[in-house]
């Protein structure tokens, strides 16, 4: 269950929020969630081997290739693979998964770099996961803003792992006010009608994770530019929990000059 500063009320708003956060926590506790990552491995043209991943790995113009040792078998989409397997050229922010015994191997591309990350369900970060505290849900933090669309453009976004630099597309900005302080924040596109807001605020590094938090945003349609920002659903990025995730970090214009006392706080694993 969610850990909050105070017990939530029995209101529909609080109950709906509780269901949302319980679902987020359940996903984190899944056997092959990001808490099960045990390493972050950048591929190169020269062959590389990793302690927690079978095979010898390379990447180049033809994409990612693994050469398995004798007796090693990967399950790729239900097919037993031995010897050489060619993953091909992998698209940015897409990934493939293969099974090896009780582990999963994730092959993906981030910031133009091919990477391999294994997920071992017995990893202590997952098995000892104690949960993520939150602020108590408060309707005050359901804020209406105005979406200001822009011609689609790419923006550079720093990552939690310095070797990676992300390039994302922005659909525009959202302008809103908190206690008379007006801000305009840049969104990152996820689809035609969905985006995310990466932000920092005055709680960052104090009661909330220092790097960034993220908030899903539904973009308006038609001529109505109103958009709802429910900061009660501000959640931590993967890098708040694991050092093996190159999460995108909030751009400077999204560093809010006030405290957003809503949503998730620093995970217990980062405070003990």
Q: Spell out the residues 6+ positions from residue 29 whose beta carbon is closer than 8 angstroms to its own.
A: 35, 126, 129
Using 50, 70 and 90 to split pLDDT, how confident is the model at 272?
low
The CA distance from 241 to 247, in Å, is 11
Query: What secondary structure letter does DSSP report for 187?
Result: -
Q: Are 195 and 211 in contact (CB under 8 A)?
A: no
Residue-wise pLDDT tens digits, 82-112:
999 999 999 998 999 999 999 999 999 999 9
Q: Return the pLDDT at 267.
A: 97
Q: Return the pLDDT at 3.
A: 39
Residues 217, 169, 200, 130, CA torsion sign: positive
Q: Return the pLDDT at 270.
A: 86
Residue-wise pLDDT tens digits, 222-232:
888 999 999 99
Task: Over range 183-206, report the average pLDDT.
Answer: 96
Using 50, 70 and 90 to split pLDDT, how confident is the model at 10?
low
* Paired strand residues for 236: 213
Q: Return the pLDDT at 8.
A: 43
Joined together, the tokens standing for residue 123 give: 């990893």
Q: Return the pLDDT at 1.
A: 33
Q: How far is CA 223 from CA 147, 169, 186, 192, 227, in A?
A: 10, 22, 20, 15, 12
Contacts 24+ apart (CB under 8 A), 87-93: 87/63, 88/62, 88/63, 88/64, 89/62, 89/63, 90/63, 90/64, 90/114, 92/167
**SS3 category, 185:** strand
* Paired strand residues for 146: 175, 226
Residue-wise pLDDT tens digits, 135-187:
999 999 999 999 999 998 999 999 999 999 999 999 999 999 999 999 999 99
Q: In the Cβ-directed half-sphere of 141, how many Cα atoms lie within 13 Å?
A: 20
The CA distance from 92 to 124, in Å, is 29
Q: Are 239 and 245 in contact (CB under 8 A)?
A: yes
Nearest C-alpha neighbor of 170 from the set 264, 254, 247: 254
- Report the DSSP pairing between strands 41-42 and 103-110: unpaired
Q: What is the largest CA-CA distance in the chain?
A: 66
């Amino acid at each position: 269950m969610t850990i909050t500063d105070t017990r939530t009320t029995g209101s529909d708003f609080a109950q709906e929020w509780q269901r949302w956060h319980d679902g987020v926590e359940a996903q984190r506790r899944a056997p092959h969630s990001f808490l099960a990552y045990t390493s972050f491995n950048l591929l190169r043209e020269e062959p590389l081997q990793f302690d927690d991943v079978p095979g010898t790995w390379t990447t180049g113009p033809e994409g990612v290739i693994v050469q398995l040792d004798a007796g090693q078998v990967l399950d790729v989409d239900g097919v037993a693979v031995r010897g050489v397997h060619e993953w091909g050229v992998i698209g940015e922010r897409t990934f493939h998964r293969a099974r090896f015994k009780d582990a999963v191997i994730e092959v993906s591309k981030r910031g133009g770099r091919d990477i391999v990350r294994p997920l071992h369900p017995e990893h202590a970060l997952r098995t000892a996961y104690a949960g993520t505290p939150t602020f108590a849900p408060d309707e005050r933090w359901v804020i209406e803003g105005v979406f200001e669309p822009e011609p689609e453009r790419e923006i550079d976004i720093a990552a939690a792992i310095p070797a990676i630099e992300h390039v994302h597309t922005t659909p525009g900005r959202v302008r809103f006010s908190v206690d008379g302080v007006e801000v305009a924040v840049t969104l990152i596109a996820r689809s035609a009608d969905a985006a995310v807001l990466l932000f920092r605020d005055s709680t960052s590094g104090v009661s909330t994770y220092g790097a960034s938090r993220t908030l899903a945003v539904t973009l308006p349609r038609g001529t109505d530019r109103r958009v709802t920002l429910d900061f009660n659903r501000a959640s931590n990025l993967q890098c708040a929990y694991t050092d093996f995730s190159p999460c995108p970090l909030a751009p400077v214009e999204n560093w809010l000059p006030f405290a957003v006392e809503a949503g998730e706080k620093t995970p217990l694993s980062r405070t003990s």
